[in-house]
Structure 1
Amino acid sequence: MNRLGLGFVACLIAAPVAAESSAVVAFVGDVMLARTEATGRLIARGGDPFRRVRSILAPADLRVANFESAGGRSGKADPAKPFSFRTTAAGVVAFSSVFEVAGLANNHAVDFGRQALVETLASLRQSGSLGVGAGRDLVEAHRALIVERQGVRIGLLGYLDFFPRWFAAAPGLPGVAWLDPRQVAVDIADARARGAEVVIVIPHWGEEHQPQANEHQRSRARAIIDAGADAVIGGHPHVVQDYEIYRGKPILYSLGNFVFDGFSDEDNITGWAVFATVDRAGVSAIRTRVVRLDGHGAPAPDASKSGPCWTRGEAQMTRCAE
């Protein structure tokens, strides 16, 4: 939000100038609150895994996280998957108390079947969050979520580019949006036609535990920018990955874990909260706060580390100075 000093206000009164509207959108990586995990058990005891990061996320105009789980009550665990996760209603409420948008294009959203995904969408909505990257059918899954903040219409699109392939939505069947570059181009064009002034794509992709994006990610990310997106902000590998500026637009390949237990390696317990300043021309700045997860998977700000920062016009992202 722009803050104007009294002197600047006086100037505006003397010579009116239309101020450029801008908003700040916070993005974080994987949030795991499943009932079988330490973070889910903490919620069941009345604890708050977000307690130490609420203050850094609160100033943002919109908050977006990957909801790494199913949230419905029906269905059975997929026997073909090594891990299937389900978050209780209390966990959904805890998530929605922080994040208005839940990324559902991931490899756990349909762990308990398609009907459970429909219930997840409903449970999130009832708690105050909207899902992106999944839907009750193919059209809904690929339809951008458009949210207006500070006068800027922000379009969000989420995609899965990992297994299981059968999680993908189909005509008449609930599921997640699958990352097909040709379809992404159609979805971006549709978002623009519906009034989105900024379009940010959130892919779930890459190789786990790899600090560098692979060539598949790079080619897909650049194709997404070529198709008209203003930024690509990804996740899934459970570590933060590298980043770049392509055609003047930011690409962050993975934000790492944000709330997730079961890891002890330093790269797995380090995550980023990325704050993107957006206006009607796209993304104007990127700022990052680093978090470190404790033994229960709950994050806290880590002032000893820095993440990427960037301002429109700069040729590359660099480490934040603070």
Structure 2
Amino acid sequence: MTPLVSRRAVLLGAAGGVLAACSSRAPDRRPDEGATTAAGVLRSGVRMPVVLAVHPATAIGRTATRAEVEAVHSGGAAAWQGLRVVRGPGAVAAAAGAKEVVAAVTADAVVPGTEVVPVDGHDPLTAPADYPLTAEVAAVTAPDPVVTSLWTGDVMLGRRVGAGMAAAGDWELPFAQTADRLAAAGLTVGNLECTLSREGRATHGGDSFGADPRALAGVHRAGYDILTLGNNHLGDYGPNALVRTVSIARGEGFATAGAGADIAAAREPALATAGGLRFAVLAFCAVGESPEAAPGTPGVVWLRMPPITGPLAETDLAALEQSVRAARAAADVLVVVPHWGREYSHRPVAEQVTVGHRLIDAGADAVVGMHQHWVQPIEIYRGRPIVHGLGNFVFDMTFSEQVQQAVVVELVHWGRILKSVRAVPVRIGAGGVPRFLDPAGAEGRTILSTVWG
């Protein structure tokens, strides 16, 4: 097993063991009072944030005041900002299923597929201790702690991005506008879409992505903990450069997943800790090009599936399901990162849905995919997210608006319970340097409407 990497960044909004959550994956009956559960200790009389929960598309740009929330929860308002107010059992499900509904609930009821509205600038999920409005809840499971994780798309540090860093003498340049926010998360994960060695023959001509290892300075600055390597460009300079890239990344302190000196190494999960939670990440490539790892042969983990590498291979998928089940035993949170789908499309291929569901059924808490260079929707399946496409993150493509638009996904955990999945819009500018967008701005709304549409 890969050694655990300890997170050095402080957590955002620690709950102090006071707040609580219930999960879409909770058992049918609660354990006895005082029993230890996956998320913490069962308590009575816990004070919980009082929130307005809406469909994620409806949440874009919305805020509320404390007076508005109090008016809705008092029962005196049938509507809020043009939305129909729903209370009681089923309210959250109604908000998740209809964009014109707002659920008046406490935060323990919130699940992925809904979003809470900030109140007077306070976020009840990531900073519940600072939230201004609470109510007592009879018996809930107390989360300890609150942990956020950020997931970025392809980080390509070669070609024109690498040339820009070298010319400026600044190996942190690609993260100049995003590093602080990325590093503030409990855990930060991205796909390294290049090699860190060019000792072999370039196999993709001008599209061979090889980076100077000094470019990892920016990756460090941005607080990345895990780099996924199961992609179609890790083999751009042959097997020796592939193995060397894995060695360099791990030698710099990053956990890696999806590639290795043989299939056993490539299938090992990347492991890291954040806020006392054990995260495991698996990665695979469904688009070919990089060599397939095998016994005694370096490469990446393959899954053959449309639209590029043939029909869905049941043997490949069964092996991935087994990897998920094996990693599940060592992790509080397990995420699978696929490199899949059709380039330059907002629509997932049907097999992405099939594979995503199978991985969730096998035990994954989330599936976070990329490769397409355009953003694709977020699907909620059995209360867990399948992010079909993050888009690029650090990349030198400029030939369309869509390749310069992306999202960073934030997962919010209360203890082991995944409470929320959020998409943060991104614009990639000159030199392949990304910046975060205002979600309520015109371009931010365009990107998020695609993700949640």
Using the size of structure 2 for normalisation, the TM-score is 0.62
Larger Rg: 2
Match of 1:24 in 2: 148
Structure 1 residue 56: Cα displacement:
2.0
Instruction: Give yes or no for the alignment of 1:149 onto 2:274.
Output: yes
Match of 1:221 in 2: 356
Match of 2:337 in 1: 202
For 2:341 and 2:15, how far apart are their aligned partners in 1? 43
Match of 1:131 in 2: 256
For 2:154 and 2:143, how far apart are their aligned partners in 1? 36
Q: CA RMSD in A?
A: 2.3
For residue 257 of structure 1, what is the amino acid of its counterpart?
N
Match of 1:163 in 2: 288
| Deviations 1:271-309 (CA, angstroms, capped at 9, x unpaired) | 111111235545221122111011321111111214669
Match of 1:288 in 2: 423
For residue 197 of structure 2, what is the amino acid of its counterpart?
G
Instruction: Give yes or no for the alignment of 1:46 onto 2:181.
Output: no
In 1, are the aligned partners of 2:280 and 2:333 still within 8 Å (CA)? yes
Match of 1:56 in 2: 181
In 2, are the aligned partners of 1:286 and 1:308 still within 8 Å (CA)? no
Match of 1:33 in 2: 157
Match of 1:76 in 2: 201
Instruction: Give yes or no for the alignment of 1:67 onto 2:192.
Output: yes
Structure 1 residue 26: Cα displacement:
0.7
Higher mean alpha-carbon deviation, 126-135 vs 278-287, is at 278-287
* Alignment counterpart, residue 260 of structure 1, candidates 379, 382, 395: 395
In 1, are the aligned partners of 2:183 and 2:221 still within 8 Å (CA)? no
SS in 2 for 1:49: helix
Match of 1:313 in 2: none
For 2:14 and 2:333, how far apart are their aligned partners in 1? 22
SS in 2 for 1:87: coil
Structure 1 residue 266: Cα displacement:
1.3
In 2, are the aligned partners of 1:231 and 1:283 still within 8 Å (CA)? no
For 2:433 and 2:326, how far apart are their aligned partners in 1? 37
In 2, are the aligned partners of 1:146 and 1:154 still within 8 Å (CA)? yes
For residue 181 of structure 1, what is the amino acid of its counterpart?
L
* Alignment counterpart, residue 250 of structure 1, candidates 377, 385, 389: 385
In 2, are the aligned partners of 1:63 and 1:100 still within 8 Å (CA)? yes
For 1:18 and 1:249, how far apart are their aligned partners in 2? 20
Identical aligned pairs, as a percentage?
33
Structure 1 residue 94: Cα displacement:
2.5
SS in 2 for 1:167: coil
Q: Are residues 295 and 227 of structure 1, via their aligned partners in 2, closer, same or farther at CA, if it must alter by over 3 Å? A: same
| Deviations 1:10-29 (CA, angstroms, capped at 9, x unpaired) | x99xxxx9643332111010
In 2, are the aligned partners of 1:157 and 1:201 still within 8 Å (CA)? yes
For residue 184 of structure 1, what is the amino acid of its counterpart?
L
For residue 156 of structure 1, what is the amino acid of its counterpart?
V
| Deviations 1:253-281 (CA, angstroms, capped at 9, x unpaired) | 00001111132311110011111123554
| Deviations 1:160-206 (CA, angstroms, capped at 9, x unpaired) | 00022x6111001111111222011110111123x212110000011
Match of 2:318 in 1: 182
Match of 1:269 in 2: 404
In 1, are the aligned partners of 2:143 and 2:415 still within 8 Å (CA)? no
Structure 1 residue 93: Cα displacement:
3.0
For residue 169 of structure 2, what is the amino acid of its counterpart?
G
For 2:258 and 2:417, how far apart are their aligned partners in 1? 21
Structure 1 residue 90: Cα displacement:
1.4
For 1:130 and 1:46, how far apart are their aligned partners in 2? 27
Aligned length: 300
For residue 249 of structure 1, what is the amino acid of its counterpart?
R
